[in-house]
Amino acid sequence: MKGLSLFLGCLVPNRYPGIEMATKLCLAKLDIDCVDLEGASCCPAPGVFRSFDRTTWLTLASRNIVLSEQKDRDMLTICNGCFSTLEDANRSIKEDEESKEDVNRHLEKIGREIRGDINVRHIIEYLYQEYGPEKIASYVERQLNIRVAVHYGCHLIKPTKDRGLGSFERPAFFDELVTALGASSVEYPDKMACCGAGGGVRSAMKDRSLGMTEAKLARIEETGVDCIVNSCPFCHMQLDAGQTEIKEKNGAEFNIPVLHYTQLLGLALGFPAEMLGIDTGIEKNRKLMDLLDSQV
C-alpha cells in the first residue's frame, strides 16, 4: 500500500482550519504515513465547475492528482466534494485514454503529465477499510459517552456504482467508526437526506438551500442528540453556519454542535477541544464540551 498525501481543498484550510489540525493530529497518532500536498488548488468543486465545463473541471482535478503522483502517493481527501471530483476524475483518466490525452495536452503547458497510477481515498473510507472499527477503538484514550447523529453526506457513498461502498439506503460503516469511540450513533428519519448545500444550490439559492437544511436539522433535533458528526466540510458548514442563517431567516433556533469526524476522533484520541478547533466560544459547542468534561 502506498503512503498518502493530504489534499486540503478549500473549506478546510480557509474556513474550518480546526478540521485540518484535527486531521493531522489524528493521522500522526494513528501512525498513518501522510505528507502535505504542496501547491494544490480547489479540487475543483463537482457541483458548480463540472456543471460549467467538464474539460476545465477534469484538467484542474488532474493537476491536483499529478502533484500526488509525483510523490508516488495516494491522495487522502477529508471532504465528500473533493472525493467526488478527484475520484471521478481519476477514474476518467484511468479508463478513458481520450480524456487522458486531452488533459495531458493542457498539462503539457505547465510541464506536467498525468499517468493515472495512484488512488484517491476518503478518510472515512480509508479508516474503515485499512484500520476498521476495532483497531480504531484500540487507540481510544477517552471514551466519548455521547449520542451522535451521523451525517454521511451524498458524495461519500453515491453514485454507489462508482464508490463501491455498498447501498446508500442504510449504510453502517461510518456509524461503526463513531461507535468505536464509545459514542452511540442514533438512528433518525431522513438520515441519508442531503444537507441542502450541494450542486451550487447554496451559493445561488441560499433560502431554498436552507429549507432543506432546516428539515434535516428538525429531524435531528427530535432525537435529542449531543452533536452531529459529518465527513464533509461543505455539509459541515451548511449544518453549522446554516443554524445561524436559519435563525436570521425565520427565527427557528437549533443549538446542535457540529463536528467533522476527525474532530470527534481527535477528542477520543485525547487531544483538547481547542487544538481541534471545536471552539468553546461557540455556545452550541460549549454544551458538548461541558458534557464531556462532566464525564472525565
Partner 1 sequence: MDDKNATGKDTLDKLTEVSTDALKCMQCGICSSSCPSGRHTSLNIRKLVKMAGKTTDILDSAELWMCTTCYNCQERCPRGIDIVEILLDIRAISAHNGRILPEHKEVCAMLIEHGHAVPINEENKMKRTGIGLEELPETVHKYKDELEEVKVLLSSCGFEELVMQAGISGKEDSA
Residue numbers of the site for partner 1 (CB under 8 A)? 8, 10-11, 13-15, 17-18, 20-21, 36-42, 44-56, 59-60, 63, 106-107, 109-110, 112, 154-155, 158-160, 168, 190, 193-194, 196-201, 203-205, 208-209, 211-212, 215, 274-275, 277
Other Cβ atoms less than 10 A from the Cβ of 257: the count is: 24
Closest separation in Å from C-beta 142 to partner 1:
19
* Nine-digit cell string for 255: 443549538
Strands 227-230 and 74-77: unpaired
Cell of 81: 466534494
> Shortest approach of partner 1 to residue 2 CB, angstroms?
19
Q: Which is nearer to partner 1, 150 or 183 (CB)?
A: 150
For partner 1, the closer CB: 187 or 274: 274
The DSSP annotation for 12-24 comes to HHHT-HHHHHHHH
- Least Å distance between CB 131 and partner 1? 25
Nearer to partner 1, 154 or 265 (CB): 154
- Which residue number, 63 or 121, has a Cβ lying nearer to partner 1? 63
Query: For residue 114, with 0-12 CB atoms within 10 Å meaning exposed, 13-18 middle and 19 or more buried, which class applies?
Result: buried
Q: In what order do the strands lie in the sheet with 4-7?
A: 34-36, 4-7, 74-77, 120-122
Q: Min. distance of Cβ 138 from partner 1 in angstroms?
A: 27
Give the cell for residue 248: 436570521
In angstroms, give the least distance from the CB of 295 to partner 1: 24
Q: Minimal distance in Å, beta carbon 127 to partner 1? A: 22
Write the single-letter amino acid at 156: L
Q: Give the helix/strand (H/E) hosting 48.
A: helix 46-52
What distance in Å separates the CA atoms of residue 61 and residue 98, rounded to the nearest whole number? 16
Comparing CA positions, the residue from 268, 240, 199, 210 lying closest to residue 49 is 199
Nearer to partner 1, 139 or 168 (CB): 168
Closer to partner 1 by CB, 136 or 217: give it.
217
